[in-house]
Amino acid sequence: MTIDTTLSDLRSASLRGLCSGAVHLPGDPGYDAARLPWNVALDQRPAAVAVPRTVAEVQEVVRAAVAADLRIAPQSTGHNAGPLVAQGLDDVIVLKTSAMTGVHIDPQRRVARVEGGALWLHATEPVGDHGLAALHGSSPDVGIAGYSLGGGIGWYARKLGLATNSLLAVELVTADGQHVRADATQNPELFWALRGGGGSFGVVTALEFRLYDIPTAYAGMLVWDAAQAEPVLRRWVEWSAGAPDEVTTAFRLLKLPPLPEIPAPLRGRRVVVVDGAVLAPDAQSRAVLADLRALAPEIDTFDRVPSRSLVRLHMDPEGPTPAVSDSTMLTGLPDAGIDALLAEAGPGSTSSLLATELRQLGGALGRDHEGGGALKRLDGAFLAFGVAIAATPEMAARGEQDARRLTQALSPWANGRSYLNFAETSVDPRSGYDERAWLQLKGIRSAVDPHGVFVGNHRIPRLVENLRVTD
C-alpha cells in the first residue's frame, strides 16, 4: 500500500457515519454491492460510496469530502460509468442519488419535478396517468438526471428536440455545500451549462422539465429476418432523408440470445428491426410508414398506443447488465457506408455484437433550440452504436474489438462529433460541443467549482487547472 493510498483511506474514513450510516468504505460488508454501476462489466472501486436520502445529507457529504480533500462523482445509475472509471477513483467518493426518487406532476402547468435519483420508469407512469408525455429515453431504468444533463434522445426527438432543452430548472448542491436552483432567472449561466454539459458542476438533487400533450402515439416495430438486412437498410436510409419531423425511428441488426425474457418469435434469432413513433393522426402515420411496410415485414406492431408504453418499445435490457460498446455520429450513409456496416455486422459476419444500431437524427435535433443550453442540437444524419454483452472477460475483449471495428468501418462518414451520452468509453469531451460552447463550459466550471471537487463521466475542465493536477 502506498503512502498516497493510506492517506486516501484515512480521509475516506472521516466520512464514516454520514448519511445515517449509508457510507461504504473498502472492506465494509456493503461496499462491493454499493460500488457497482448499472454496467457491471466495469470495476468501479472508489475511495467510498455515499448514498444520501435527502438534500441535507448530500450537503453533509459534499462538505465532508471537501474537508478531507476528496473529490466527488455524482451517480444515479452508472449507465455511462466507463469514462469515469478510466479517470481513476482512488480519491473519489461516488455519491449515489439512487435513494432520492420522488416524482411530482403538475398537470395544469404540464411540468414534472423529479428528485436526482429518479429513473424514467418512475416518471413515465404518473405522467401518462394525466395523458401527458415526457421526452424520455428508450430504456425505463436510465436515470433522468444523467440522461437529461447529457442531451437526451427519445421517440419524440425529431419533432421536439433534445430532452435537455425541455428542462425548466435544476436544483443542485455545489462545491461549497450550498443548495442552489438554476433556471432562466436564477443562476442562468449555470442553467445554460447544465443543459448538455453533464455532471461536472454539482450533485443534482431535483429537476423540473416540460411535459407535452401526447396521450398516444402511432408507434411500434417492424421486424424482418436478418437475410433481409441489405434491402431494409438501403430503403430505411433513403426513407430517413425525406421523413417528416413527426417521425423518429431506429434501425437495428439484432443477434438475440435464446433467453426466455425475449419474445418467442425473436428468441435466438438474427433479425432486422425498425422501431419508433409517429406524432401524427393514423392515416398520416400509415402514409409515412408505407415505403417500409412495402418490404413485407414478418412482424408489424405499429398502431395507436398509449405514450406511456413507449419507454419499453426498444426492449433495452433492464437491471444491471455487463456490456461494452462504441459509437460514432455520421453525416450520412451512402451505398459504400451501407456496404461497410453490413460487412462488419450483417448476416454474413461473425460479429459478436448484440445490437448494431442507427438512430435517426435530423429534424428538430439538427436545428438550434431557441433559448437552449450548452447542447442546442446534434449535427449529423445518424448516430451509430454497437453493443455487446460482456459476461466474461473474453466476451468483453471480443465485444470491444467488434464495436471498434464497426465504428472504424464507418469512419469515412463520421463527422468528428460525439454524443457523450452514448460514449461509454473515454473520448475527448470537447468533441461533444462547438468551440464557443466548450469555452463557456470551462469558464462556468471554473466559477462554480474552482477547486475541481466534482468528477463528471465526461469531464469539463477548468480554465486554469493549477489546484489539482488531475483536473
- Is the model's pLDDT at 112 over the cut of 60? yes
Tens digits of residue pLDDT in 138-149: 999 999 999 999
Phi/psi region, residue 315 (left: phi>0; alpha: psi -120 to 50; beta: rest), is left
Tens digits of residue pLDDT in 394-419: 999 999 999 999 999 999 999 999 99
* CA dihedral sign, ordered 330, 318, 158, 422: negative
Per-residue pLDDT, averaged over 113-122, amounts to: 97
Q: Which residues pair with 112 in a beta bridge?
A: 105, 209
More confident of the two residues 317 and 275 = 275
The CA-based dihedral angle spanning residues 73, 74, 79, 85, taken in that order and rounded to the nearest 10 degrees: 0
Q: What is the mean pLDDT of the chain?
A: 94
Which domains are present in the chain?
A: 216-422 (3.40.462.20)
Contact between 203 and 172 (Cβ < 8 Å): yes
Tens digits of residue pLDDT in 352-365: 999 999 999 999 99
Distance CA 121, CA 108 (A): 21
Q: What's the whole-model pTM score?
A: 0.94
